[in-house]
Structure 1
Amino acid sequence: MSSTAIHQEVTFQAGVDRVYDALISSEQFSKASGGAPTEINPEEGGSFSCFGGMIVGRSIELVPNKRIVQAWRVANWEEGVYSIVKFELKEQGSQTLLMFDHTGFPEGQGEHLSAGWHTNYWGPIEKLLA
């Protein structure tokens, strides 16, 4: 059974501004990822490269402290193949609920990607914001 969409919800012990910044700031994301080379243009239409170029793409929609939508790909995917990732942030008192959706990735990649979001994004960002 291959998954064609990933939906995850994560609660961070930090305000929406800090969570948004961790996802869209080169400096903050690099800190979260253990110093891995990161270049993120924090403007709509801007490109990004994380984990030393292993993950690349472009920000399609940026609504500060609310939503990030990106055309996102793993560097070793077939040329021209992009998926869509959406990060929705909701303030819940002093916490932030992140609702995450990832669609359009190559068949057979769902399980690997799903685990990767926890290992490479949510866990490290949680540590950064603690």
Structure 2
Amino acid sequence: MPTSIHQEIAIAASPDRVYAALLDAAQFSAMSGGAPTEIDGRAGGAFSCFGGMITGRNVELVADRRIVQAWRVGNWPEGVYSIARFELAPRGAETQLVFDHTGFPEDAREHLANGWHANYWEPLRRALG
């Protein structure tokens, strides 16, 4: 069975605001407590978050609807990338974010699953809610 994480989160903001918060370096840095962040918000663009602990490239971007990233943690073996997929849909005044993360080292699953909540979803809710 492939190693994967599936999470569904409601965020009290419109999809365009959630999309921007995930792809704009200044917003992401502010959301993550000021950690150094560089994000090229174009398809094929590279990103580095949390002071370089997370790096990768934007594989597919559909404005305000989908972000697919080749995503890695700095201490993973060289050349190992996972796929992080963010699907955004309006639901009333909120955004329903459906997140799937696949292809990461098996022993990282629990740490990653907790990390998405602590480092992405809760800060997004605080910043946008």
TM-score range, shorter chain: over 0.9
- State the alpha-carbon separation in 1 of the partners of residues 17 and 2 from structure 2: 31
The residue that corresponds to 1:42 in the other structure is: 41
The residue that corresponds to 1:55 in the other structure is: 54
What is the count of residue pairs matched by the alignment?
Answer: 129
- State the alpha-carbon separation in 2 of the partners of residues 71 and 14 from structure 1: 25
Matched, 1:104 2:100: no
Q: How does 1:1-130 map to 2 (within 5 A)?
A: 4-130=3-129
Deviations 1:11-44 (A, max 9, x none): 0000001000111100110010000000000000
SS at 2:43 equivalent: coil
Shift of 1:93: 1.5
Unaligned runs of 5+ in 1: none
SS at 2:106 equivalent: coil
Which letter maps to 2:9? V
Unaligned runs of 5+ in 2: none
- State the alpha-carbon separation in 2 of the partners of residues 107 and 99 from structure 1: 21
Shift of 1:3: 7.4
Which letter maps to 1:13? A
Shift of 1:94: 1.1
Alignment check: 8 A CA contact 1:91 1:97 kept = yes
Percent of paired sites with the same residue: 61
Q: TM-score, normalised by structure 2?
A: 0.98
Aligned CA-pair RMSD: 1.1
Tell me which stretches of 4 or more aligned residues in structure 1 moved more than 2 Å.
Answer: none
- State the alpha-carbon separation in 2 of the partners of residues 3 and 26 from structure 1: 31
- State the alpha-carbon separation in 1 of the partners of residues 13 and 50 from structure 2: 24
Alignment check: 8 A CA contact 2:2 2:103 kept = no
